[in-house]
Each structure stands twice: as structure tokens, then as C-alpha cells.
Amino acid sequence: MTAPHDSTREPNRLAGETSPYLLQHAYNPVDWYPWGDEAFERARAENRPIFLSIGYSACHWCHVMERESFENEEIAELMNRSFVNIKVDREERPDVDQIYMTAVQLLTRQGGWPMSVFLTPDGRPFFGGTYWPPEGRMGIPGFRDVLTRISQFWDSKKEDVFRSAESVTEAVSRLSAPEMTHSSLTDETMRNAMQELLAAADRQYGGFGDAPKFPHPMDVRVLLRCARRFDSDEAREVACFTLDKMADGGIYDHLGGGFHRYSTDARWLVPHFEKMLYDNALLVPAYLEAFQMTGQGRYRTTVVETLAYIAREMTSSDGAFFSTQDADSEGEEGKFFVWSAQEIVDILGEEDAEIFSACYDVTRHGNWEGHNILNRPRPLDEVADELALTPADLTARLETSRQKLFEVRSQRIAPGRDDKILVAWNGMMIAALAQAARVLDQPQYAQAATAAAEFILNAMRDDQGRLLHSYKDGRARFNAYLDDYACLIDGLVELYQATFDARHLDAALELAERLRDDFADPDGQAFFYTPHHHEQLIARSKDTQDSATPSGNAVAATALLKLGRLCGRTDLQDLGYQTLQHLSGLISEHPRAGGQALIALDFVLGPTREYVFVPGTGSGDVDAMLAALEHRFVPNKVVARRPDNTSDDALPESLRPLLTGRGPGETAAVYVCEQGACQLPITDAEAFEKSLG
């Protein structure tokens, strides 16, 4: 997050906002408005077009456009004279971002941030783009010229502007909630998805497609499920190869843990250096599942380091999780993270520097713009042989060197952090932490997830109990969106299965009913992105395709299916399945756009089992049996544990359908049920482990 460039100016209207991104622009000479009635009323009263600028605090090119244009007095004067100017944080208002991104993609066939859109006074888009330099260069028009031409066009050809705006708005409305075809949901749907992912896989560097390369954690998790479902070594190898290459690449922070946003090249070397909460929240389960499937300790290490980064740098004093960290520090992208060879020598000494540099690709000339991005292009065993060291000795020396470098790096000027708290992204991290607590036997992760969940449920709801989307500086604001509800419900379900505290299920059920009442399409066609009581925009969208984050409808389907199964709520299971059916055509025709929906489908196709663990009054170790389950890759399951010394009458209401009649005996037992049929309880830990395959 960059500081204001000239705080001696009078602040504009953004000074009263909570968004760090908007506050970055509070001292621009531009007469910015936040999104709201005041701006639109002025535009209508003065018959002016609106210039809408959308970005986010960790966006490198958003900072560039601010420095070049929004801090330019002459350009600002032109903006103020001819337009009503609105600045939006896409992370606070994803509903606005979705609609106008669709418009920009229609107008230019591309999109991204900063997003720049020109609107009529009633909010209809008629021209747009992304980053414009102040003056034209390399085929990109200059922002100054764009402003001048749009102003002239508005004054001289207003009827043409309104016709264009009407046409674009109609197209945006159609695309925001398109008619969806339905297809059969079968094993063949999963097999087709597996084949498409394998065809798109980069067998040399891992990942899917060409540069720039994004992590695609949902697609990796789909391949792991297909590997299990179809006994496909190829699917497993492609998934694990991708995870290996990312964890070895420069996209991973080898000193501080955690992943950067994406790689600008095909081999994961040069990242876009911002770090997003959601990327790390989504990658943790992928590495956990690879660890369950293979038992390889490197996946466990990646999870532990990533969650240490989240605890150290992305957790508020209230226990909730911050949103992003910038790519830039001191005005340069990546400066905080890169090294010179001489710095490594100065800190580690000649001998350890030679070892470290051999492992982490450090050279005198550098591997990126004269600097070194730490990455591991070769297996450590190979480097150990070359250096005449044992693998254990090499690992120990590298750990010491990394710690020394991390301590020095900690003294640098760090990238800015956007410390607002968003429900959806927190829900993803709650789920990730809960899964890590179960798989790695680390209860502190469940404690961290619980703290975040309690903060959101206590501090981020309105007087009617509805969720609010964003929290910053003691203020919770904005109606929550579909993905806020869906991700938090999913996180609470996972948190119950890590803690067996029924309060988490009770909260999830309350939110699920609110989700149904406020977001469901009355025609039974899944969920809208905004609630029924939300402000009316030029379109009302449905979030159906995965992007950097899973689609709200796909997460809703996943969460409702699991919650309904745990609580015996067939109405919630049916609602989840109906939502998945709405996405069926998408995942059949374009499976790479529906990874999260495919994860939900794998759960539906099963076999999906309910595991109920009942502690005994005498012998048997129920914890050992529970651990045996969690250490295996058994993705299609729900897990419950009967509270100790509790009669059927005293069971939590949410769990009575699953737990009633399964009282404790002398020996600890596991009840396994599938499709309404229950096996006899298993009381022998060895027999239970064998039953898992």
C-alpha cells in the first residue's frame, strides 16, 4: 500500500472511507467520489458522464496509473472539469467490479485492473479499458487523449453514446445471469474433466497452459480426486508435479513462506509479487491432500510454512485474517524479496553462501533484472552429491541460512498490507486451517480458525443477523455477497469436523437458511451474487465460473451438500444438488471453468460416507481411529464425534439425526454409513484402518 503523495493538499471525499485502496487516493487532486448516490445525483444534475476507476491495494499497475495520472494536476483538472469521478475498491464491491468487468471485456475483449470505465449518469457503460499511460506509447492511447475525446464525444454525439450504452448494458445483463444448459452428472463428467486437464497440463514446468501461470488449486484437487476415482497414475503425477514446481519456484517465498499471486513466466520463476489471502487459503488444502495421498513430507512442510506466514503477517489482533500484501516496496515491484549474490555472501559467509546459492539459483548476474529470485531448480539430493554433503547435512545448513536471511530481510521496508477483513476470504482460510488441524494433528490451527470464525460472527453482522462483507478500523460495511455466505458456511463445516464443537454447525445452519432466503433464485436456478434487498445495479449477476477464487455457486453447492449430510437436512442437500445441476452444462463443456463444482460433484458421486466416532467407557482409542482416517486421502466423507458422557436427549439438535442411538459402549467404536445404510460398528483400530483401503 503506497502512502499519499502529497498530504499537504486538501483531502477529497475518499478520506472518509475505510478501504486502504481508496485511502491511497484521498489526497489525489482528482475530485474522487466513493460509489454511492451522491456521485450519481451530481452526474444527473449536471448531465456529466462518469469516469469509474476500479482497482485494489496490492495491484502494481493501479499504483502506476495513480502516480502517472491521478497525481498529475493537469490530468486531474481535465477529469474534474468534464467528469464525475468514482473510485471503487474491487475487494469491497465485487458486485460492481463483476458487472463493469463484463462490460470492459465486451468492449475490448480483455480485462484487468486498474479498470477504467466511462458511464452515463444512470450507470450504463459506453467505453472502457484498463491501464492507460498519461501519454500514448507503444500503441496504447494516452489517458489525457482518452479523456479529451470522450468529453468531446459526449458533447457532440450524446445520442450515439446512449445507444451504445443501452446496447452494452443489455449484453452485460444477459451475460451476468446467462441461461445455463443442463447435462447429466456422472462419472463420465469427471473423466472428461480429467482428460481436459491432462491435455492442458505443462509436462515440462507444471501447471496448465502458458505464461502467465496461475496456481489453479481447484484443478489440482480435481486431478487428485480423479487419480483416486479412476486409479490414474497420470492424474496424480500431473497434480503432484504442479505442486512440486510451484513450491520450488519463485512464486513461493522460500524465506517467509506463502505464495505470491502468479508467475509471469512459464516456469514459475518470476512472480507478480503481491500475496493474496485467498491464494494461500486455497493452496493449503491442495498440498494437504497431496500429503495424504503420497505421504511426502515436502507437502507438509509447504503447508506448515504457509500457515506460519499467515499467523505472523496476515492475522489481526482479533484473530481474523487480512486481505493482501503489495507487490511493491519503496516504489519497486519485488524489491523486498530479491537478493544480490554479494548480499548472500555478506550475510552467510563464503562457504554457506556457496551452498545456499547452489540450491537457490543465486548467481552474480542474477536471474531477474540483475537480481536473484530465490527458487530451487534442482533436487536437493543432486546438489548434495555435487557438494559432497549428505542430504541431512545440506537440509540443516540451508535451514540455518534461510533463518539468517529471513532476519535480515525483516529489517527491510516491507510491502504495504491491506488490512481489511473480508468474510469470503476468511471463510476459505478457516476451512484451510481446520483441514490442516485434522490432517497434521495440530490443534493450534483449529484454535486460529475458531478465533477468526468467532470474530466474524460477532463483529460482522447487522442488527438482523445478516453478514456484512468487509471490516476495517472498527467498522463492518456492505451487504455480504454469495461467496461470503458460502465460504463461511464451508469453513464452519470444516471447523466442526476439526473441533466437534456443535456451535459451528449451528452457526452454519443459521447462515444456510439466510443464504436460501436472501440469495436463491425463485425459479430454482441456483443463487444470485447479491441478496434480494441489495441496491439495484444495471444487472444482477450469478457467480458460476471459477476465477482466481471458486465461484460462489460452486462453493454454496459444496457447503450445503456437506452440511446437509452432517445434520440430516435433506432440504439442504437437495438445494446443494439443484445448484450443482445448474452448473452441470458448464462443467461438462468447460470443466476448467468449474473446478470447485467438480469437487462438489465428486462428493455427490461418492461413495461418500458418514463416519461417527464414539468414545468408549472403557477400552479402545477413538482418537487413534480418527487419526487413521484423517491421515488418508478420503475426500468424500463427513465426520462426527459423539460428545463424551452425553445421553441422546442431551445431544445437540443439529447432530441428533446422525448421533441418536449410537451411544457409548465399553469399547470405542466407529459407525460407517453410506447412502442411508450403516455397517456394524468397528471397534478394532487395525480393522478400521484396513477398511479404509
The pLDDT of residue 177: 85
Q: Which of 281, 286, 282 is nearest to 221 (CA)?
A: 286
Pairing of strands 637-641, 609-614: parallel
CA 149 → CA 85, 121, 135, 468, 572, distances in Å? 16, 18, 13, 40, 53
Could you tell me the pTM of the whole model? 0.95
Tell me the one-letter amino acid at 290: A
Residues 151-194 have pLDDT tens digits of: 999 999 999 999 999 999 999 999 988 888 899 999 999 999 99
pLDDT in tens, 286-344: 999 999 999 999 999 999 999 999 999 999 999 999 999 998 888 899 999 999 999 99
Residue 439 contacts residue 292 (beta carbons within 8 Å): yes
Pick the CATH number of 187-329+418-605 from 3.40.50.10860, 2.40.30.10, 1.50.10.10, 3.10.150.10: 1.50.10.10
**For position 241, what pLDDT does the model report?**
98
Per-residue pLDDT at 496: 98
Cβ proximity of 205 and 268 under 8 Å: yes
Q: Do domains 13-176 and 609-691 have the same CATH topology?
A: yes
- Taking the C-alpha atoms of residue 248 and residue 262, their distance in angstroms, rounded to an integer, is 14
Alpha-carbon distances, residue 76 vs 31, 80, 155 (angstroms): 8, 6, 19
**For residue 619, what pLDDT band results from cuts at 50, 70 and 90?**
low
- Determine the pLDDT at residue 5: 54
Q: Is 1's pLDDT higher than 80?
A: no
Measured distance CA(90)–CA(21) in Å, rounded: 9
pLDDT at 590 over 50: yes
Name the percent of the chain lying above pLDDT 90: 88
The mean per-residue pLDDT over the stretch 61-71 comes to 93
Tell me the three cell numbers of residue 110.
Answer: 480483455
- Candidates 619, 617, 662; CA nearest to 641 is 662
Question: Could you give the residue ranges of the DSSP H alpha helices within 339-442?
Answer: 341-348, 350-360, 380-386, 391-409, 423-440
Is a pLDDT exceeding 80 seen at residue 693? no
Q: Residue 4's pLDDT is what?
A: 44
The per-residue pLDDT for 524 is 82
425-447 pLDDT, tens digit each: 999 999 999 999 999 999 999 99
CATH value of 609-691 in 1.10.10, 1.10.3470, 3.30.750, 3.40.30: 3.40.30
Q: With a cut of 50, say whether residue 3 has pLDDT above it.
A: no
pLDDT for residue 457 = 98
92-130: burial string, b at 16+ Cβ within 10 Å, e else? bbbbbbbbbbbbbbbbeeebebbbbbbbbbebbbbbbbb
Average pLDDT rounded to a whole number, residues 362-389: 96
**Residues with Cβ within 8 Å of residue 138, at least 6 apart in sequence:** none
What does the pLDDT look like over 347-371, one tens digit per residue?
Answer: 999 999 999 999 999 999 999 999 9
Is residue 394 scored above 60 in pLDDT? yes
Domain ranges of the chain: 13-176, 187-329+418-605, 337-411, 609-691
Cβ proximity of 278 and 549 under 8 Å: yes
CA dist., res. 321 & res. 315, Å (int) = 5
- Asked if the 13-176 domain carries CATH number 3.40.30.10, the reply is yes
- Residue 214, CA atoms < 13 Å, CB-side half-sphere: 13
In this prediction, residues 51-69 reach a mean pLDDT of 93
Q: Specify the pLDDT at position 173.
A: 93
The grid coordinates of residue 569 equal: 437436512
pLDDT of residue 50: 97
